[in-house]
Every structure is written in C-alpha cells, then in structure tokens.
C-alpha cells in the first residue's frame, strides 16, 4: 500500500518522488515521456477493473473452484506423483523463483549447481553422457530431437518414424518441427501395445533419419524390443530416440544400453504434480552430439581463485549468439521446474525412486485385476508388463462409462469406443478399490 495510493501496487513511487524524477528528466508529465505518434496512441479504456489482492484471490479462487473435484486415474503423458512439501518451500525461495537465467554466474552459483545436479541425475537415469537443463515438454523435446537428427546424421534422410499410438498432441508438435526442417513423419505399426519390430524392419530404408520409441508407451506397456529397435536404427545410420520419464527410468533398462542416442520425456513427473499438462522437456544424448544439443547446458569450471564453479556453457549453440543458425530457438525454458524435479528426486533418493516405480507397476496390476473381475470389463487389454497405466476393454460404450464415472467422482480416459485407460500412481493407489466399485456400479 506504501508509496502511492493509485496505480500499480508494485511501483513504489510517492507522488513527490515522481515529481522530482520528472523534473530531473526534464518533462512535465508522465505522458510526455512517451514518444508515440498521435495516431497510434491508445487513449481508450482496456476495461479491466483494478482489484485488491484479497478480491483477486477470492474471485480467481472461486473460478478455479468450478473445476470438479475428481479422483483422477489419468495419464497418457501427464502423470501425477505426490510432491513433497519440501519441494514447494525450497523452490519458492525468491533467490530461485525470482532470478533470471544465469548470465552472471558469479551471483547465480546456487541455481547453476542445482541445474548441474539435475543434469547429472539424468545422466545416471539415462546412461547417456549429456543432459541439458530443460526443454518445454516431452512433445517439443521430440521436435528438437528430429531437428537434432537432421543436423547430426552423416548421410541424408528425412524419415522420422514414430509409434502408431503417439498421442495427437505430441504428434502435432512433431509435425510442425518436422515441417520446418523438411522432414517426413510416419507412424509405424504397433502390435499388442508395443512396436511391431518386423513391420518396422520392412518400413525402414536408408532414408531413415530417426526412429522413436517409447517405454512405457502411452498405453502404459513396457516396450520389450528396445535393443532390436536400436539395432535397426543403427543399421541405417539413423538415430534412435527413446521417450520415457525419470520414475520409469529408475527401474527400466538403461536407455544407453539399448542403443538410445537421445532420451526425452516429461521430467516434471517428478516435482510438479498434475498441472494441466505443464511439463519439463527432458533431453539427454550422447557426448558426440554435444555441440548440436538444443537448450541450455551447465558446466563445471573454476573461478579465479581456482575453486570449482558452475556456468552456462557452449552458448555459441544458442539463439542469442548463433541466431538463425542456432541449434534451437529456445531461450526461456523450464529451469525452475528442473530445480523442483531435482529436489524431488533428491528427496526420494534411489530407494524412494525405486519404491515409487514399484507402486506404479503393482498399482496398475492391482487395478487391472480389480477391473478384470467386473462383468463387462476385461483388463488389461495387452498381456504385457505395464507401468502406471493400461487399457481395459468395455462391453458397453467407453465414453458413456467415463462420463458416468465423473458423476461418481472419478476420471478415466475413454480412448476408443470400447476402450478405457486408467493410470495408477502413489497419489491414487489408495483409491483403487473405490474406482473398481464405481465401475462395477456404472456397468451394472
């Protein structure tokens, strides 16, 4: 409230100060400061009423309150894990939250070290040598992977092969990136929820630029043919990229061991919780592609006293220096989410991460078993190993079931006329019985 009583509450000028400053500048009024030709000046009203802090909180809080209170069994690329309170409290410290990109590393050692630690954790989880310190989300990371492939591949080639089940959102983002780089995106067939390796062999040729697989797939199936897929890409001097996430990677086969050249995915599965799709583009790759990596990299160096210190590095890859020849246009990224992811991962530690992953395996199995016992439902559709989520076949129309379940307070995906998909994590594992009961009622 201090300073002046009208105008921006975050501008501290008293009327007297404003006068003094206008005098010092040599103009009579604030309006005189603006060198805007009369015809393009705006003299109208925007029509936005100012409100007190209390009023904004009440009003927007009430709007948000219109969201129904549902227990979500939703996944398909956006996953909810319990975020420890520590993550909120530490990441909300203004020194982190209100800081800028670390262009002055001498006063940004804290954030730089946290990002370096984030990168290091991804190195451990992926088995690859290099991780950047964030892209926007899994979909844009896939787009960046395609353009990386087109930059690093020895021979020509423009075919980007992706799973037939890739969600529309991811596919859509990839199409746009591919379009700018003159690449062609094609789907490869899936068989029982995983890549159809033989079909892929038939599909590929020396124009293959990038082969992309996911494990777990968007249908929650753990991909069993990663080694084969890596080998296929290798045979054609194409890149092999894997989509996953840090929780799954805590227990699943190390991507580097399966020949992955790039690992992407949503790292915000740790650190963020459900946030309407807001994510954190994970990106790790081999050292040989280092100078083609998109996004920011933090490296260790020394200060003038010889002490270890951190800095953004290899900035010549970036748009503010390389401009149209940059490896990406990314500037503002998701650094603060990466900080949260790192804190969450560190909070869990190796045992905690593995425990969490186990919950995602056993929870999904338990729910699938429960649903399978319901007359009119068979689950899981794929007789494979699942992580977090799975499909269930419904005798009755799936959209109607999903819709009726919202009335009972539960949200599941209706992915097809007779397919629903459910996702189990630590945040809803206690509600499995409730969901099974609700489904039983709904299909009865």
> Least distance from C-beta 154 to a second copy, angstroms?
44
Tell me whether residue 64 or residue 375 sits nearer to another protein (CB atom): 64
Chain mean position to CA 262 = 15
**Candidate list 160, 173, 185, 232; residue touching another protein; CB under 8 A:** 173
The SS3 call for residue 172 is: helix
292 binds another protein (CB under 8 A): no
Q: Mask of contacts with another protein, 376-415, x by CB under 8 A?
A: ---------x----------------xx--x----x-x--
DSSP-derived secondary structure letter, 313: E
In the complex, what is the shortest distance from the CB of residue 221 to another protein, in angstroms, rounded to a whole number?
A: 11
Q: For tokens 């100012």, what's the residue?
A: 50
Per CB under 8 A, which of residues 83..122 are in contact with another protein? 84-86, 88-90, 92-111, 113-117, 119-121
User: For residue 204, which of 224, 194, 219, 189 has the smallest C-alpha distance?
Assistant: 189
State how far the Cα of 289 lies from the Cα of 186, in Å rounded to an integer: 24
CB-nearer residue toward another protein: 321 or 373: 321
Gap between the Cα atoms of 52 and 49, Å rounded? 10
Interface pick for another protein out of 81, 145, 147, 158 (rule CB under 8 A) = 147
**Residue (of 249, 173, 172) closest to 214 by Cα position:** 249
Size of the site for another protein (CB under 8 A): 197
The residue (of 104 and 375) whose beta carbon lies closer to another protein is: 104
Contact partner at residue 426 from a second copy, another protein, none, CB < 5 to 8 Å by partner kind: a second copy
We find the least distance from the C-beta atom of residue 362 to a second copy, in angstroms, to be 16
228-261: b (≥16 Cβ within 10 Å) or e: bbbebbeebebbbbbbbbbbbbbbbbebbebbbb
Q: Which of residues 25-64 bind another protein (CB under 8 A)?
A: 25-27, 30-31, 33-37, 39-42, 45-53, 56-57, 59-61, 63-64
User: Does 168 contact another protein by CB under 8 A?
Assistant: yes
Residue nearer to a second copy on the CB measure, 41 or 51 = 51
3-state secondary structure of 390: strand
CA–CA dist 284, 256 (Å, integer): 10
The answer to whether 302 contacts another protein (rule: CB under 8 A) is yes
Residues 248-267 that bind another protein (CB under 8 A): 250-254, 257, 266
Q: Which does 5 bind (CB under 5 to 8 A by kind): another protein, a second copy, none?
A: a second copy
Residues in touch with a second copy (CB under 8 A): 1-2, 5, 53-54, 57, 82, 84-85, 89, 92-94, 346-349, 351-352, 355, 426-427
Closest CA to 232 of 273, 260, 194: 260
Q: Which of 186, 192, 316, 430 binds another protein (CB under 8 A)?
A: 316
Instruction: Give CA–CA dist 307/298, Å, rounded.
Output: 16
Least gap, CB of 54 to a second copy (angstroms)? 4
82 contacts which partner out of a second copy, another protein, none, CB within 5 to 8 A by kind?
a second copy
Helix (H) or strand (E) holding 262: strand 262-266
Cis (ω within 30 of 0) for the bond into 341? no
Q: Which of 192, 303, 369, 441 binds another protein (CB under 8 A)?
A: 303
Q: Nearest Cα to 332, choosing from 139, 134, 170?
A: 134
Query: Do 81 and 356 contact (CB within 8 A), yes or no?
Result: yes
Integer angstrom CA distances of residue 405 from 70, 270, 304, 353: 10, 28, 63, 31
Q: How far is the CB of 53 from a second copy (least distance, A)?
A: 6
């Amino acid at each position: 409230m201090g300073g002046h009583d009208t105008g921006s509450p975050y501008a501290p000028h008293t009327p007297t100060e404003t006068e003094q400053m206008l005098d010092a500048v040599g103009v009579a009024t604030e309006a005189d400061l603006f060198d805007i030709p009369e015809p393009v000046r705006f003299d109208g009203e925007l029509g936005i009423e100012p409100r007190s802090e209390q009023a904004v909180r009440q009003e927007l809080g009430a709007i948000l309150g219109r969201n129904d209170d549902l227990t979500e069994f939703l996944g398909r690329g956006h996953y909810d894990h319990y975020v420890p309170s520590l993550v909120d409290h530490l990441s909300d410290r203004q020194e982190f939250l209100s800081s800028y990109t670390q262009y002055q590393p001498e006063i940004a050692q804290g954030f730089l070290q946290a990002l370096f630690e984030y990168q290091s954790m991804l190195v451990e989880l992926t088995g690859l040598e290099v991780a950047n310190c964030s892209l926007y989300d899994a979909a844009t990371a896939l787009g960046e992977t395609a353009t990386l492939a087109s930059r690093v591949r020895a021979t020509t080639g423009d075919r980007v092969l992706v799973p037939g089940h890739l969600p529309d959102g991811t596919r859509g983002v990839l199409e746009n990136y591919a379009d700018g780089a003159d690449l062609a995106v094609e789907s490869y067939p899936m068989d029982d929820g995983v890549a159809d390796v033989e079909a892929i062999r038939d599909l590929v040729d020396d124009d293959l630029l990038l082969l992309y697989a996911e494990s777990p797939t968007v249908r929650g199936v753990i991909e069993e043919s990663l080694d084969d897929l890596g080998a296929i890409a290798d045979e054609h001097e194409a890149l092999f990229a894997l989509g996953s996430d840090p929780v799954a990677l805590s227990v699943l086969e190390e991507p580097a061991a399966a020949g992955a050249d790039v690992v992407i995915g949503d790292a915000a599965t740790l650190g963020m919780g459900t946030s309407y799709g807001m994510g954190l583009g994970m990106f790790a790759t081999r050292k040989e592609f280092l100078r083609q990596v998109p996004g920011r990299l933090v490296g260790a160096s020394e200060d003038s006293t010889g002490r270890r210190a951190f800095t953004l590095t290899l900035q010549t890859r970036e748009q503010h220096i390389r401009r149209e020849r940059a490896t990406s246009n990314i500037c503002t990224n998701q650094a603060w989410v990466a900080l949260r992811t790192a804190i969450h991962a560190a909070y869990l530690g190796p045992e905690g991460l593995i425990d969490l992953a186990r919950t995602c395996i056993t929870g999904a199995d338990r729910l699938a078993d429960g649903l399978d016992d319901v007359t009119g439902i068979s689950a899981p559709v794929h007789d494979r190993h699942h992580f977090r989520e799975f499909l269930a076949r419904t005798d009755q129309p799936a959209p109607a079931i999903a819709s009726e379940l919202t009335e009972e307070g539960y949200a599941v995906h209706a992915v097809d006329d007779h397919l629903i998909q459910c996702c189990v994590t630590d945040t809803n594992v206690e509600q499995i019985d409730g969901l099974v009961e609700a489904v039983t009622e709904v299909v009865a």
